[in-house]
């Protein structure tokens, strides 16, 4: 499973938006890798930022 998929899975299982550090904990991967995945997923429109520094699945 790729880092992007792991990030999406962590967000899908969350009841509320998560910070990058929380995503890293849930997914069990390094925060730097999560930051890279978030940047790519935001560009693709797969995740959204409901409030600053928090991430959720895109609509």
Q: Is the pTM of this model over 0.75?
A: yes
20: nearest Cα among 41, 45, 1: 41
CA–CA dist 52, 48 (Å, integer): 10
Domain ranges (residues) in the chain: 3-57
- pLDDT 10s per residue in the chain (59 long)? 899 999 999 999 999 999 999 999 999 999 999 999 999 999 999 999 999 999 999 87
Q: What is the pLDDT of residue 58?
A: 85
Three-state DSSP state, 9: helix
Domain 3-57 sits in CATH at 1.10.10.10
Structure tokens at 44: 């693709």
């Amino acid at each position: 499973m790729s880092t992007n998929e792991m990030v999406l899975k962590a967000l899908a299982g969350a009841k509320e938006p998560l910070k990058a550090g929380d995503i890293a904990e849930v997914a069990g991967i390094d925060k730097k890798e999560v930051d890279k995945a978030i940047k790519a997923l935001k560009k693709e429109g797969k995740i959204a930022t409901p409030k600053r520094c928090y991430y959720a699945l895109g609509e």
